Amino acid sequence: MKNSFLLIVVLFIPISAHSDETYKYCEIWGIASGAGDPFIRNLASRILDKQKLSLNTVCNSVQRDSYNFATTYGRKHITSEDLLRWERYQNFKNNVMDAIIGLVGY
């Protein structure tokens, strides 16, 4: 009973409470999934596996929230927090693409 209550409390903590570096790739995974970006989603998934966060309940909650955010992005009033979340995803994606381009010599 006590564990169930704790799980419920953790699931309702706002996403901003988890936006530190620990859950960065959980958020990127969720946004990439909602945005239909399988390459970045799979890359974030590999990082989460290496960090042993794939089965973490807080990470799963962040993923779900970020997925929902990405599927409605642009169809609702966009806040400054929304812009920051999208920017974190876009910056990660751009860094990955730049690294790949650098590897092929361009």
52-104 pLDDT, tens digit each = 998 899 999 999 999 999 999 878 788 999 999 999 999 999 999 999 999 99
pLDDT at 7: 34
pLDDT in tens, 38-58: 999 999 999 999 999 988 999
Instruction: Indicate if the alpha-carbon torsion angle 62, 64, 65, 71 is positive or negative.
Output: positive
More confident residue, 3 or 70: 70
Contacts made by residues 87-93, CB under 8 angstroms, sequence distance 24+: 88/24, 88/27, 88/28, 89/27, 89/28, 89/31, 89/32, 89/35, 89/40, 92/28, 92/40, 92/44, 93/32, 93/37, 93/40
pLDDT at 76: 79
Q: Can you tell me which residue has the tokens 């945005």?
A: 35
pLDDT interval class at 17 (50, 70, 90)? very low
Taking every pair of Cα atoms in the chain, the longest distance, rounded to a whole number of angstroms, is 58
Look at residues 101, 19, 26, 14 and name the one whose alpha carbon lies nearest to residue 60. Answer: 26
Q: Which pTM does this prediction carry?
A: 0.75
pLDDT of residue 1: 46
Rounded-to-integer distance, Cα 47 and Cα 53, Å? 9
Domain boundaries defined on the chain: 2-103
